[in-house]
């Protein structure tokens, strides 16, 4: 039994990239599906199962994945408190009252929420 499914999601992707795998299998949930859609829309993965690598250097598209809010210590932020990830190059994934979205989308819609992770 996994106590933190988001951390498990990030760890599976991180481990697959370190091993050089193209495909990673992750147990499904609506939250993980939405996070995968965000990663796809931001260009970090090729398909919903395929990881993305640079063709020339073979480096993964995702350089860093950091879990922010944990089950023991939830981290919430309002639109004014959103932190820029890697000077605006990265993305933060938030769980808001209007669904799971990026920090940029949440700022446009002027909603705050739980900061799930930072991805660069």
Q: Phi and psi of 100, rounded to 5°? A: -85, 130
Least confident of 13-22, 48-57, 68-77: 48-57
In this predicted structure, the answer to whether residue 14 has a pLDDT above a threshold of 70 is yes
Taking the C-alpha atoms of residue 7 and residue 65, their distance in angstroms, rounded to an integer, is: 10
The reply to whether CATH 3.30.1490.10 applies to domain 5-119 is yes
What is the C-alpha radius of gyration for the chain, rounded to an integer number of angstroms? 14
pTM, two decimals, is 0.91
Q: What is the mean pLDDT of the chain?
A: 93
At 73 the pLDDT is 96
The residues near 56 (Cβ < 8 Å, ≥ 6 apart) are: none
């Amino acid at each position: 039994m996994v106590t933190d499914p988001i951390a498990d999601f990030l760890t599976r992707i991180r481990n697959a990239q370190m091993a050089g795998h193209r495909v990673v299998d992750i147990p499904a949930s609506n939250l993980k599906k939405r996070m995968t859609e965000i990663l796809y829309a931001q260009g970090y993965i090729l398909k919903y199962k395929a990881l993305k690598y640079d063709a020339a250097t073979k480096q993964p598209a995702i350089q860093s994945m950091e879990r922010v809010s944990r089950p023991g210590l939830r981290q919430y932020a309002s639109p004014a408190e959103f932190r820029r990830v890697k000077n605006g190059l990265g993305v933060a994934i938030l769980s808001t009252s209007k669904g799971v979205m990026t920090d940029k989308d949440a700022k446009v819609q002027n909603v705050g929420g739980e900061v799930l992770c930072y991805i660069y």
